[in-house]
Amino acid sequence: MTAVVCTTAEAARALDGPARTAGVPVFVMPAPARAAWGGDGAQAYEFFAALAEERSAAGHPALAVAAGLKEPGDAVSAIRQALHQGDRTLVVADPDWAALHADGHVRLLEEIPQAAGTDDESGEAVDDAAAFRRLLSDSPEDEHRDIVLGVVRGEAAAILQLPLPDAVEQDAEFFELGFSSMAAVELRNRLVELTGIEVAADAIYDYPTPAELAEHLLAEAMS
């Protein structure tokens, strides 16, 4: 057995001991995303988080997950990355910030800029593209290539459901990595949304590796 997934506190209690004895390397306890901020399932999620801490301290990795993403593949990728990093808890969600504020979760959200839809310093509206531009402008020029390459590799890894951006070799051609024509379109759309740069629909054919595509995006960003 390589993994145990428990969806209730009772199951987690019952399977914790046997999983430790058997040396099961992955012990995941999922709950609805709303459980992380006090909604349905909050009590179970608190138990999951405490058990994950206890197991990890004893050398038995575990992860408590509060998940609610529209794209299940994104959640799988996030869980893999969290397990790789040794995290104990993880929240992956497409939250309705306005609804959470209306439900009285203001204190929980006050340190999350996206929750208010504003930049934490200026108070102005912020989006992914604005954050990307600011990151470039605030970073030394010799770091720009690595920043853009990290974005390309990160989005490619998410599409391929790989655990980490480093799993995407920068000099390997996208189609050798497992991309299809549909995946190429998805990558283009993700990059447009994240960077605000108008990426041509056939860019992956003209710039067939992550490194080449990143160089192209950087040139466009600086023009």
Whether 49 shows a pLDDT value over 80: the answer reads yes
What pLDDT does residue 72 have?
Answer: 61
pTM for the model: 0.48
* Residue whose structure tokens are 């038995």: 60
User: pLDDT by residue (tens digit) across 54-79?
Assistant: 998 898 889 998 887 656 666 777 77
Distance of CA 186 to the CA centre of its chain: 16
Provide the residue ranges of all domains of the chain, joining segments of one domain with +.
3-94, 128-222
Structure confidence by residue, pLDDT tens digits, 165-195:
778 999 999 999 999 988 999 999 989 988 8
Closest CA to 66 of 108, 116, 28, 18: 28
pLDDT at residue number 106: 45
Task: Check if the beta carbon of residue 84 is closer than 8 Å to that of residue 108.
Answer: no
C-alpha closest to that of 215 among 142, 156, 148, 139: 148
Task: Reply yes or no on domain 128-222 having CATH 3.50.50.60.
Answer: no
pLDDT digits (tens, 9 = 90+) for 94-131: 665 555 544 444 444 554 555 555 444 444 444 667 77
Query: Would you state the pLDDT for residue 202?
Result: 87
